[in-house]
Amino acid sequence: MNHPLVPQRPPTAGIEISNVLDGETVHQRFLLVNGRAGPRHGSFDQPIHVLCNDFPQTQWPCVNSYFKAMVHLVPGPNTITFLFQHGEKQTLHFHISYLPLLQNPPLSLVIFIGSDSPAKFDVPPQKKGQDTLSIAIEKFRTAGYMWQAFCAEQMHRHGFGRRTFRLEEAWLPDTISCQEKGVMRNTAKVHVIRSKHTVAEIRDVRRAQQSDDHDESFESLFDFFLDDLRHNPPFDKPCAVAGLILDSHWDTQKQLSLGHTALGGGAGHTALGIFGSHLLHAWPTSIEDIVPSFMDNTKTDTRYVANDANESGEWWRAINIGMGAMLHEVGHAYTLTHTPTGIMSRGYNNLNRTFVAKEPGFGPIPPEAENGSHWHRLDVLRLRFHPAFRLPQDGPKGVPIETSPSFVPLEGNQFQINAPAGLSILEMNVDGHYRTHLEFLQEHPKTLVLSMDEICSRCKCDKRQKISLEAMCVNQQQRTMEDVQGFIQSHAGVRLPGVPGHVIQSDVFGGDTPGATQSRSIFLKDGHLKQAVSITVHHGSFLDGFVIHWNDGTQDVVGKTGGGKSRFIVMPGEQIQGIILRCGAWIDGLQFKLSSGRLSPWYGGMGGSPTVVEAPEGYDTVGFFSTANDWTEQIDASPGQVGHVICPPLLSTKITLSSAGNTNRWIFYGTRKQIIDWIREHSNITLENALFAGGNSPTSHVHTELVIDLQQVYDQDQTYADYIKSYFVSIYDVERVKVEIRPRIESKDCFIPAVNRVIVASGTKLADIVEDLEIEWFKPAESYVQQTIHLFNDEDTPSHIISAKPPTSVQINAEPTKTSTAPSAAEMDLSTPH
């Protein structure tokens, strides 16, 4: 069990502070102070008064000498005065300096409301009229400062300094004190975004996380607000957001919270944690309201408001669940995972114990009695190296390294972790439960070799149990090995044709969907390394595949050969040493690393996470192994040639694409007219998003819609005159284009350039959209020069949304046909030691 660290208790009878040093410098507006005052062995409950610079006096309960207080600070030096009287009057003057860290990326507080929302939230009859947007802003602002103070205290207890996130602040009428509402101060800014979605859409029972009718095929509330953020500056840039759904509502008939989801994580450039407002009525509206709110044991009346998880049956408990569970989701946005104890478990039920020295029916609550209200050691280790939690003494950031860690098997029942950015944590789990971890605080190894025996010894288990590892780097990139013993057994001691002895095989990068086409390239012939002369890479926005050309006239195809192509010359004596990949559920792009130290250009897209794949020290690279999933449809109708269709599998009455594996696309090449004519000839075909293709569930940020992109393509058969002319006007009759149909994934879509984008619902027939497509595609087009200006201005692709209801069920009518493919995964074969 990982117990939280606690401050030392003051030994004397006067007012003493146990968790802060006099003269200390901190970096948050409100400092959480723990201390003692009065007789150490007495039994009493009296207030201690706190006087701060430029802020009204507040008071906090001191119970049997224990007290906790939220102390307001202004930038620069602060003198804090504590006043307490139990018998004789006691006074303490305490000095703190507040240095805001404006260079750190902030956490933004955002309230989402429906397009037709009255901007009110659920309140019980006792709080009639306290349901307005302005009160919601006050409560959310207070919660933000409480979260900030909690994080700083937890990081301090673990010896990492008072690290915490910075709140986005602005010069505004402040509400953080009920005694001085409206006084202008630099205070937390609460954004209000009116969604493009209606209240009815937000409250649809199929989107309610706690509903038995919850439908994964529906666009989630998380998706809604990611989309809303992207269209509301400044959130179209990298950001961290705590999102409150104001239109959550307790449905008394269904006994269900509608418009609520508790979810957090990263999606593209956005880190987002969201939660509903169904418990907001209980949250404190100001610093002075913290103690009364946490001591309010009014029973929750489910005729009016929710009793979430049956754990918020009193109003003070509703704060713990609402504010604490939302902090849990913000933790996910900051890369935290579920832990055995603490806030990232269900420890938020004790959140009140961090801020008040008593609770209804129990007290005093010294720091060691806060129970679940803490960050687990794994949490603080992750936050220690997060850019939002940096301290000035950390020194220069240096050149950022984006590369993810990777696992490589070795001989002798061992494996190696490669971490170019440096390891920070190696978490070990047995049968799905946390067992122990290694932490690297001073030195961050770039390689680490471990044996199966050492892992079992540290985990106190045997090899028959399933051990999983999660490697985390200082750059927040991570990778999981699901089964250590299985990985070693399946990747070490592999035999390859033409390669003497055994080889080891790297981890798989990208997706690994069953039934995919396999290909490989072996670099050895008759025991000697072959000499490559060039590599032809097939790519567009993603990687299709590549062909290695050898000096004996042979060639190896890895993946498939669709899309555009580029050629890279390999010089005599150079060998392919490794590859640098960007990948997620598929391979976005790659770069070749040669033995001379030379790197090829980058081919493909820049989505996904970067990973370096190369042989460990003492080994040579002897080949690549690849799997490729079904691409789709391709029309190759160059001028003067007969267009032909290469049909994919499952082509009967549906075009089925997967947004779970993220590997399926349909690609068309031809003129606009040729593609429109083909669509008309196949107008009975339905476009469908198969959510569970390959047995994988969709992630929280995957849409059920489909994107139809019209994209430019280089036409090598175009005349020089037409080529020059195309820079100023579009020649639709001869201009070849590329049309791509794929699942809608905004984190990917925003990086894919298109002349025109149409979004349709799953279940749409081609017959229903062909007229709209023709209108969209044949609109007078801007010249390439104009399009280039838009590109440099980072303007979005114009989109046209065609509404259509999705099918009620997914049914595939399959008949085998020929297919073309694109790679979704790549492995690397590594030889025995040289």
Residue 7 CA to residue 28 CA, distance in Å, equals 19
The verdict on 662 and 807 lying in the same domain is yes
Instruction: Assign 3-class secondary structure to 498-542.
Output: CCCCCEEECCCEECCCCCCEEEEEECEECCEECCEEEEEEEECCC
Q: What are residue 681's phi and psi, to 5 degrees?
A: -65, -25
DSSP state letter for 751: T
Q: For residue 668, list its beta bridge partners.
A: 739
Task: Give the pair of three-digit tokens for residue 236.
Answer: 């179209």
Identify whether 137 is part of a domain: yes
Output the CA–CA distances (angstroms, integers) from residue 721 to 313, 593, 669, 734, in the order listed. Answer: 77, 39, 22, 12
Does residue 16 form part of some domain? no
Together in a domain, 800 and 826: no
Phi-psi region of 187 (alpha: psi -120 to 50; beta: other; left: phi over 0): beta
Is 563 a domain residue? yes
Convert the pLDDT of each residue in 384-429 to its tens digit.
999 999 999 998 887 888 888 989 888 889 999 999 999 999 999 9
- In this structure, are 256 and 380 located in the same domain? yes
Alpha helices in 432-483 (DSSP H): 452-459
Q: Distance of CA 378 to CAs 169, 324, 394, 601, 803, Å?
A: 29, 18, 20, 39, 45
Here the tokens at position 391 are 């301290």
Q: In what order do the strands lie in the sheet with 532-539?
A: 555-559, 543-550, 532-539, 564-569
Give the CA dihedral 203, 208, 211, 214, nearest 10 degrees: 110
Same domain (yes/no): 115, 227 = yes
Confidence at residue 139, expressed as pLDDT on a 0 to 100 scale: 98
599 phi/psi in degrees, rounded to 5? -115, 145
Q: Is 496 within a domain? A: no
- In angstroms, the CA 666 to CA 632 distance is 4
The whole-number pLDDT of residue 354 equals: 98
- Give the per-residue pLDDT at 683: 82
Three-state SS letters, 768-786: HHHHHHHHHHCCCCCCHHH
List the structure tokens of 252. 């008394």
Token pair in block for residue 62: 């001191």
CA distance 365 to 32: 15
Please count the helices (runs of H) and the strands (runs of E) in the chain: 15, 49
**CA angle, 158 then 399 then 106, to 5°:** 55
Same domain flag for 524 and 598: yes
Amino acid at 638: S
- Answer yes or no: is 456 within a domain: yes
Cα–Cα distances in angstroms (integers) from residue 223 to residues 261, 796, 809, in the given order: 11, 18, 21
Give the strand pairing for 45-52 and 66-72. Answer: unpaired
In the listed set 452, 482, 512, which residue is the last one of a domain according to the structure?
482
- Strands 249-251, 256-258: parallel, antiparallel or unpaired by DSSP? antiparallel
Residues 771 and 792 in one domain: yes
How many domains, in total, are found in the chain?
4
**421 & 334 share domain:** no
Phi-psi region of 600 (alpha: psi -120 to 50; beta: other; left: phi over 0): beta
Which three-class secondary structure state does DSSP give residue 650? coil
Q: Give the pTM.
A: 0.75
Domain presence at residue 73: no
Does 128 lie in the same domain as 257? yes
Alpha carbon distances (Å) from 20 to 6, 543, 716 = 12, 54, 70
> Do residue 116 and residue 224 come from a single domain?
yes
Q: What angle do CA 139, 141, 144 make, to 5 degrees?
A: 110
- Pair (578, 452) in one structural domain: no
Distance CA 547, CA 565 (A): 10
CATH code of residue 539:
2.100.10.30
- For residue 304, the enclosing domain spans 106-352+372-388
The sheet with strand 603-604 has its strands ordered as: 603-604, 587-594, 576-583, 609-614
For CA atoms 98, 101, 107, 111, give the dihedral sign.
positive
- Annotate 670-733 with DSSP letters as a single string: EEHHHHHHHHHHTTTPEEEE-TTGGGPPPPTT--SSEEEEEEE---TTS-HHHHHHTTTS--TT
- Asked if residue 51 belongs to a domain, the reply is no
Find, among 353, 290, 287, 349, the residue nearest to 314 by Cα: 349
Choosing from 138, 153, 329, 688, the catalytic residue is 329
Residue numbers of the chain with a pLDDT score lower than 50 = 1, 630-654, 656-663, 691-702, 716-718, 803-834
Q: Burial letters for 601-629: b for 16+ Cβ neighbours within 10 Å, e otherwise?
A: ebbbbebbbbbbbbbbeebbbbbbbbbbb
Is 329 designated active site? yes
Structure tokens at 314: 């009193």
**Secondary-structure percent of the chain, ordered helix, strand, coil, rounded to 5:** 20, 35, 45
Q: Is residue 692 part of a domain?
A: yes
The helix (run of H) or strand (run of E) holding residue 353 is helix 352-355
Residues 383 and 411 in one domain: no
| 808 and 827 within one domain | no
The predicted structure's pLDDT at residue 694: 35
- Work out the widest C-alpha separation in the chain, in whole angstroms: 102
Q: What pLDDT does 662 receive?
A: 37
Cα 176 from Cα 288, distance rounded (Å) = 8
